[in-house]
């Protein structure tokens, strides 16, 4: 007996098309080629291509392997709505700008969005023992927030200084010359958020 051709179902086809688009979007967001995803998931490259083009209906086992490789779930892939995508941006280590202090012992990674640098600057700070990061004054009224994740850091603003250890936070004026020094005997790690002057003034209005 000849096998009957499956009847076309608009709802099923729409779901399959959205699934293919979601897999393509997640793959490109992670900068993975078809070959990369094939190696990671164990699903043939030709099969992945057909799924993305809505040329085949994958089995649940195939979707499960793809979802694990893409670090998501089958449910999330099926229900994903690109128009309401919560992922704004994913940066790899090599894409994050890195600054170093003059002594070469401190690193400052710009982990905040470059689109908000004129209002809020968010950094990842690391320093070897004895490392000093010196900063020029920011616009008048700026406030810098330093949260210590590991080690010990001493903040100097003008003639005053404060020392903070892991779990502690220091907020200080950023519109004076200031510096951060690892005064401990181990590497220091902290997050730094600098709220610039015009943001402070806007909040006060």
* CA 59 vs CA 8, 30, 52, 123, 128: distances in Å: 18, 23, 14, 44, 52
Q: Which of 10-24, 87-101, 139-153, 176-190 has the lowest mean pLDDT?
A: 10-24
The band of 10, judged by pLDDT with boundaries at 50, 70 and 90, is low
Mean pLDDT of 40-67: 90
Q: Which residues pair with 192 in a beta bridge?
A: 123, 146
| DSSP string computed for 3-59 | PPPPPP-HHHHHHHHHHHHHHHHHHHHTT--HHHHHHHH---HHHHHHHHTT-S---
**Would you put residue 31 in left (φ > 0), alpha (ψ -120 to 50) or beta?**
left
Q: What are phi and psi of 75, to 5 degrees?
A: -60, -40
| b/e map 128-160, b = 16+ CB within 10 Å | beebbbebeebeebbbbbbbbeebbbbbbbeee
| Token couple for 154 | 């001493």
Assign 82 to helix, strand or coil: helix
* Pair 192, 123: CB distance under 8 Å: yes
The more confident residue out of 19 and 39 is 39
d(CA 60, CA 50): 15
Determine what percent of the chain is predicted with pLDDT higher than 70. Answer: 83
Is residue 19 scored above 60 in pLDDT? Answer: yes
Q: Which of 61-65, 169-173, 198-202 has the lowest mean pLDDT?
A: 198-202
Is residue 139 scored above 90 in pLDDT? Answer: no
Look at the pTM and tell me if it is higher than 0.75: no
Place of tokens 């997640």: 26
In this predicted model, what pLDDT tens digit does every residue of 93-130 receive, in sequence order?
A: 888 888 999 999 999 998 888 777 778 889 999 999 99
What is the predicted pLDDT for the residue at 6? 41
Mean pLDDT of 25-47: 92
Q: Which of 51-55, 89-93, 183-187 has the lowest mean pLDDT?
A: 89-93
At residue 108's C-alpha, the angle toward residues 103 and 112, to 5°, is 165
């Amino acid at each position: 007996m000849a096998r009957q051709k499956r009847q076309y179902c608009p709802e099923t086809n729409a779901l399959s098309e959205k699934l293919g688009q979601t897999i393509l979007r997640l793959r490109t967001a992670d900068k993975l080629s078809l070959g990369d995803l094939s190696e990671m998931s164990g699903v043939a490259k030709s099969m992945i291509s057909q799924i993305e083009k809505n040329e085949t209906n994958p089995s649940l086992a195939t979707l499960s392997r793809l979802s694990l490789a893409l670090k998501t779930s089958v449910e999330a892939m099926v229900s994903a709505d690109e128009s309401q995508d919560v992922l704004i941006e994913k940066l790899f280590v090599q894409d994050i700008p890195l600054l170093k202090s003059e002594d070469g012992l401190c690193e400052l990674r710009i982990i905040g969005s470059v689109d908000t640098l004129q209002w809020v600057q968010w950094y990842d700070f690391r320093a070897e023992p004895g490392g000093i990061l010196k900063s020029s004054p920011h616009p008048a009224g700026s406030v810098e927030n330093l949260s210590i994740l590991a080690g010990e850091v001493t903040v100097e603003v003008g003639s005053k200084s404060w020392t903070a250890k892991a779990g502690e936070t220091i907020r200080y004026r950023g519109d004076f010359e200031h510096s951060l020094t690892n005064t401990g005997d181990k590497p220091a790690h902290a997050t730094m958020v600098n709220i610039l002057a015009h943001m402070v003034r806007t909040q006060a209005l």
